[in-house]
Chains A and B, each alone.
Chain A
Amino acid sequence: MSKIGLIIQREYLSRVRKKSFFIITILGPLLFGAITILPTALAMSHNEHHRIVVVDETYSFCGILTNTSAVKYDYRYCSMDSAQVKHLFKDSEKVSVLFIPKKLEETNQLLLFSKQNPGEDVVTSIEREMNTILERSKMKAANLDQKIIDQVKTSIKISNIVNNKITNTTYSMALGYMSALLIYVFIFFCSVQVMRGVMEEKTNRIVEVIISSVKPFQLMMGKVIGVGLVGLTQFLLWITASFIIFSIGTKAIQKQVTSVNTPTVKTVTTGTSVVQQQNENNSMNVGMDRNKTLDYLMSVDESLRSTNWFVVVGSFLFFFLGGYMLYSSLFAAIGSAVDQEADSQQFMLPVTAPLIVSIIVMGKIIEDPHGTIAFWFSMFPLTSPIAMMARIPFGIPYWQVGLSMVILVASIFLAIWIAGRIYRVGLLMYGKKITYKELGKWLFYK
């Protein structure tokens, strides 16, 4: 095996065999899966409803408000005195008393009494429900046919067609954010690992033995490549595991949704009485909630399938590796120049600043992926891996991607050259406070 191969092998194996690698490999996708699945799962599993005790002076809403995933109505105190009911529940948690006054039609005002703030979800859900019922009754009062009422209800959906392809903007945003963030995280963690590795060799004083066998440049590149491969391995393991978790999660949710929907059908066929109609509405509503979730998951699933993975994965790998090569070689130089991690701060700041800035402006870039900020950030090599990756899901002209790649590659060569010069001097420099001026001189040592 060539010497650089040996170095890569050692760097790779010594990291992959660590317990921490194993733990991160397991935890990563669980976390990733949890982040994608959990919000949906949580939204669905409102096990703890907020109980709304209805006190109705108009006597027209008792029993007809529809339960939702957030709210469950209680009609047992419907015709009682509001002060009495309020007193009854003054210490109860997760219970509110909804007071519907006589003059509702004039004031459009309801009162909700609770011990604790029930939260936005509960309030809007009650408002929406009341609005629907009042609107319907008003329309009925105006002698409108139920059929017409149903027809009036409109729900517009926009199909965003870009270059003859249906595009899901939300999905592009998510994909842009996710891949840019992933690149950021990987560049950061892997580059810091390279720096730590260099410092370890320097402080352990093994480095002089090694560079008497191989060139410092080989050692540096071996480390950069070895750690990069570790990152890539971890990434691939994560992606595979996340896809598995995602598809299992989706299937599980689909199953749950179908089982909930079944009884609804039954009620529709048998239901005639008011209460039963209520039930029907009720489960329809829950069903619709779940259907939305399902729709969402299906659309993500569909978008996942329709994405041009060749372009996305290809450019992801390119910018991931490119950004990593650029940053890790600079980090290697920093690691070689200092004796302790504490001393590395002054050099790390200017190097990591562009990385952090590009994360800060990422919101802007995704908002306006074809704007000036987006363009320049995706050209400047220290920010382009993140900025360009955030833009790519929106469809970027190929010349821009190409130009950005060319600039990045050229910068990598420059960075490696500079890093190599600093590295070979820095490795053997102990106990000296290093300044930028000093680093500059090192570039031209023989």
Chain B
Amino acid sequence: MKGYMANLITAKNIVKRYSGHTALDDVSMNVPEGCIYGLLGPNGAGKTSMIRIINQITGPDSGEVYFADEKLAPKHTEQIGYLPEERGLYKKMKVGEQALYLAQLKGMNVHEAKAKLKEWFIKFEIKEWWEKKVEELSKGMAQKVQFIVTVLHQPRLLILDEPFSGFDPINVELIKSELLRMRKEGTTIILSSHNMASVEEMCNYITLINHSKAVLEGGVSDLRHSYKQHLWEVLFHGDTGTFKGALGNKFELVELKEEANNNVARVKIKEGTTSNELLKDILPVASINGFSEILPSMNDIFIAAVNGKMTTLNKA
């Protein structure tokens, strides 16, 4: 059995130019097998270009892509499931017929595909739509069909480009839970999004792309720790003045809010001190209701990385 950390996708120094602009400028990324991998960055950063290269829809101008240590080749398309950002179906075709067609294009035989499709259609509660034409489907139902045909052939690698944009909230939850289940079963999943909050909770690894360049790559928890500001949040009862006084010079009060039940303070721990020391100093003056470290969100990290404010850029 392969180790968790073996890479399913290795992209080395990818360059992709279109007339007038460079979509990817020397981007490398390593997608460990069995993880959910986030490809994050603002619109137009080059995420879709990268995804299309992995899907062999376009080729890079230079650089190489490996699929489980083999050079990426047409035969690998059957091990990949792809849900593009702009997704559609043949409007005039019947739902079941169309799903079968797309499954066969991914190399499944008719009987296998039919059996699997039936299961999925029951699971997603769209069984009675099999004989309907796609144009009769609601948008939410078409989304379910699109998702099913993407995962039906049980791909080793699943690539979803902006998966949660345009999906209705119920479908988003449905799909999120399916994705987590599939990861558990060993599927590697690449998600792209410009909305980092929507995917960071699911991702184990990410690459941040900005202006055609990879800005950051690494494990999500590693990155959050390496970008942490040593900020702690303290919920307490007690006089805010005495609290401030207790902090002294060793700690910096970043923010203090007086709320109905609690006072909420954000405290930065200066170098040479620890959270335990902070706790020791404030225990005498306040009754502590909560004490936790604040880790930066992916969004914070992105902004920090892009602006170059953080010097501790630590590639994991």
Task: Spell out A's residues near B (CB within 8 Å).
Answer: 1, 3, 6-7, 10, 14, 200-201, 204-206, 208-216, 424, 428, 430, 438, 441, 445-446
Contact = CB atoms under 8 A, between A and B. Distances in A.
Contact of A1 (B58, B74, B104, B149): B104
Interface stretch (B87-95, B124-132, B202-210, B287-295): B87-95
Max chain A CB contacts within 10 Å: which of B74, B88, B93, B102?
B88
B236 interface: no
B84 interface: yes
Given A211-B57, A212-B55, A216-B57, 16 more contacts: A10-B101, A14-B93, A200-B91, A206-B87, A208-B57, A208-B84, A208-B86, A209-B82, A212-B56, A212-B57, A212-B80, A213-B77, A213-B106, A438-B19, A445-B18, A446-B59
Contact of B84 (A7, A201, A209): A209
Contacts of B84: 205, 208-209, 212
With a 10 A CB-CB cut-off, give which of A10, A204, A430 has the most chain B CB atoms: A204
Contacts, number: 71
A265 B37 CA distance: 98
B52 interface: yes
8 contacts: A10-B101, A205-B84, A205-B86, A209-B87, A209-B88, A210-B102, A428-B58, A438-B19
A266 B89 CA distance: 75
A204 B88 contact: yes
Q: Which of B86, B105, B106 counts the most chain A CB atoms within 10 A?
A: B105
A1 B110 CA distance: 10
Contact of A213 (B19, B92, B93, B102): B102
B61 interface: yes
Contacts of A10: 101
Interface centre among B52, B86, B106 (most CB of A within 10 A): B86
Contact of A209 (B19, B59, B102): B102
Contacts of A445: 18, 58
Contacts of B93: 14
Interface in B77-126: 77-78, 80, 82-84, 86-93, 101-102, 104-106
Contact of B92 (A7, A14, A215, A441): A14
Contacts of A206: 87-90
Contacts of A216: 57
A208 B88 CA distance: 9
B60 interface: yes
Contacts of A214: 77, 105
A204 B142 CA distance: 12
Nearest to B146: A209
Contacts of A446: 58-61
B90 A204 contact: yes
Nearest to B109: A1
A70 to B, nearest CB: 53
B105 A3 contact: yes
A7 B59 CA distance: 23
B105 A428 contact: no
Interface string B62-88: 000000000000100110101110111
Nearest to A1: B104
Interface in B17-73: 18-19, 52, 55-61
A210 B87 contact: no
Contacts of B56: 212
Interface residues of A, dominant DSSP: helix
Closest 6 CB pairs of A and B: A205-B88, A208-B84, A213-B105, A212-B82, A204-B88, A205-B86
Nearest to B159: A212
B154 to A, nearest CB: 15
Contact of A204 (B58, B78, B89): B89
Contacts of A7: 105
A6 B77 contact: no
B105 A6 contact: yes
A215 B73 CA distance: 11
Nearest to B101: A10
A366 to B, nearest CB: 41
B57 A209 contact: no
A215 B52 CA distance: 12
B92 A209 contact: no
Contacts of A213: 77-78, 102, 105-106
Contacts of B59: 446
Contacts of B101: 6, 10
A373 B88 CA distance: 49
Contacts of A204: 88-91
Contacts of B60: 446
A214 B74 CA distance: 8
Contacts of A428: 52, 57-58
Contact of B149 (A3, A208, A209, A441): A209
B105 A210 contact: yes
Nearest to B89: A206
Contacts of B92: 14
Contact of A208 (B87, B102, B105): B87
Nearest to B52: A428
Nearest to A6: B104
A12 B91 CA distance: 16
Contacts of B58: 424, 428, 445-446
Contacts of B52: 428
A17 to B, nearest CB: 10
Nearest to A204: B88
A204 B19 CA distance: 26
A200 B61 CA distance: 30
Nearest to A18: B92
Nearest to B62: A446
A214 B149 CA distance: 15
A101 to B, nearest CB: 74
A379 B38 CA distance: 57
B144 to A, nearest CB: 15
B50 to A, nearest CB: 14
Contacts of B55: 212
A65 to B, nearest CB: 65
A212 B77 contact: yes
A296 B89 CA distance: 55
B214 to A, nearest CB: 20
Contacts of A200: 90-91
A125 to B, nearest CB: 57
B93 to A, nearest CB: 7
Nearest to A7: B105
Contacts of B18: 445
A7 B102 CA distance: 10
A2 to B, nearest CB: 10
